[in-house]
Structure 1
Amino acid sequence: MSEPHLSYAVPAPADYCALRLAAGLSPMDESAAIVGLPASWCAVSLRVGDELVGMGRMVADGALFLQVVDIAVRPDWQRHGLGRRITGALMEEARRRAPRGVIVTLLADGEATRLYERFGFRLSAPRSQGMLLRL
């Protein structure tokens, strides 16, 4: 396997939707992705040739809050440090561009908390609880 190339680039909507499904994340509508992806505060894509094998994004208001979303790696590329590489690139960009004191949040599925703890994230419970509503 050749090493995936990392770029600070938003994936194409069809690639984004397909990778979410392949990685076991919830499905997203491609028409929504067409609108939402360009509004990313920061995006990272990992590609082998033209094929998207990993991605991650941050969404934000630009000054007060950032949220890490869409960390996904294709199953045949998992366990090769790509999630760590994606998260590291996003956090590097956040430290470079975001104002001091910005609050960075994320929702971690299952064992992913171990990955995010390496970057300084801590569980907020019991002080606060993450909540979600999907419309």
Structure 2
Amino acid sequence: MPDLPSSPSTSPAAPLPAGFRLTRSAPTRREYVRLRQVAGLSPRTAAQAAGALANSWAWAAVRTAEGDLAAMGRVIGDGTWYFHLADVATEPAQQRQGLGRAVMEDLLARIDAAAPPHPYITLLADPPGQRLYRSLGFVDSAPSVGMRLPR
């Protein structure tokens, strides 16, 4: 992981609701596994979580005043021209408050600050997040098509 701040950022582009704060640190393994599950993402094991937590280029997390994880997202990639956003998730009870937008805006700002001109920024957009991603400027990758190798 690069030398990026792990302390709370000064402020996301969009203000967070009162009582929430954005941090640039990874969630715990338990928090990561739990938020993926409750947000409807595919389940992951503790071992898979450990790899994600240790090997990401950047993290952004939104926490409640009590310190509970409310939203998260991360970037994987080479830190120079290729960046892939992953694990963008918000606690269902906290959705529609701008928490996911704050996570995305923080991660994109950090990519913009680190990358040379014209970085390649990708994500796989599940239907619930597509409106947010489009509002941030993401477009369909046509004529390229996202592909995966099932195992």
Q: Give yes or no for TM over 0.5.
A: yes
> Which of 103, 106, 127 in structure 1 is aligned with 2:120?
103
The whole-number CA distance in structure 1 between the counterparts of 2:70 and 2:139 is 27
1:82 paired with 2:94, answer no
CA displacement at 1:99 relative to structure 2: 2.1
Matched residue of 2:127: which SS?
A: coil
Q: How many residues align?
A: 134
What does the per-residue CA deviation read over 1:70-89, in whole Å, with 9 as the maximum and x for residues that have no partner?
00000000011111111111
Q: Which residue of 2 aligns with 1:42?
A: 58
> How many percent of aligned residue pairs carry the same amino acid?
37
Structure 1 residue ranges (4+ consecutive) displaced by more than 3 angstroms after TM superposition = none
Structure holding more strand per residue:
1
- 2:83 is the counterpart of 1:71: no
| Per-residue CA distance 1:50-88 (angstroms, 9 max, x = gap) | 211110000001222100100000000001111111111
Give yes or no for the alignment of 1:55 onto 2:84.
no
- CA separation in 2, counterparts of 1:19 and 1:88? 20
Letter in 1 for 2:62: L
Q: Deviation digits for residues 78-126 of structure 1, max 9, x if unmatched? A: 011111111111111111112222100000011422211122111112x
Query: Which string of whole-angstrom CA distances, capped at 9 and with x for unpartnered residues, describes residues 9-45 of structure 1?
Result: 1111111000000101100111121122121111001
- Out of 27, 30, 34, the residue aligned to residue 46 of structure 2 is 30
Rounded Cα–Cα distance in structure 2 between residues aligned with 1:107 and 1:3: 30
Q: Structure 1: 5+ residue runs without aligned partners?
A: none
